């Protein structure tokens, strides 16, 4: 099933919190995705279905994560188009596991590139 997790930028105790949009994933992992994002100082908003106006819901995140195995091609195209228009970094991962998300966020927080090892 398709899922979008939109994480909004906000201020927490004077510190800037990063924002990310995760496109794809599993419904049963929603709580785990939220917990992982919170651990890495991201705040999550979850959409279990594609919103009617998906491109306007993406916002201006710092990062777009595409879980490519669990998302439609049309959603990927829309997310990539908006990311390119807003000059947002995009990371693709074939797996939508919690470990994949942890690796992506950890690499991003450390200023490294996420490397897919499949």
Instruction: Report the relative pairing of strands 15-16 and 11-12 from DSSP bridges.
Output: antiparallel
Domain ranges of the chain: 4-65+74-94
**Which tokens is 57 given?**
């819901």
pLDDT at 1 > cutoff 90: no
Q: Residue 17 and residue 21: Cα distance in Å, rounded?
A: 13
pLDDT, greater one: 88 or 30:
88
Angle at 30 between CA 73 and CA 6, to 5 degrees: 60
Helix 30-39 × helix 98-109 angle, to 10°: 20
Which element (helix H / strand E) includes 66? Answer: strand 63-67
Mean pLDDT in residue range 54-67? 86
- Which band of pLDDT confidence, cut at 50, 70 and 90, is reported for residue 44? confident
């Amino acid at each position: 099933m398709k899922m979008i997790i939109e994480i909004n930028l906000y201020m927490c105790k004077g510190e800037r919190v990063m924002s990310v949009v995760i496109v794809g994933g599993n419904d049963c992992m929603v709580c785990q995705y939220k917990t992982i994002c919170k651990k890495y100082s991201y705040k999550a908003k979850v959409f279990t279905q594609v919103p009617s106006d998906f491109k306007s819901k993406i916002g201006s995140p710092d990062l777009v994560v595409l879980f490519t195995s669990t998302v439609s091609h049309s959603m990927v195209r829309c997310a990539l188009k908006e990311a390119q228009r807003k000059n947002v970094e995009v990371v693709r991962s074939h797996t939508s596991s919690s470990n994949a998300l942890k690796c992506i966020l950890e690499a991003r927080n450390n200023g490294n590139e996420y490397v897919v090892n499949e």
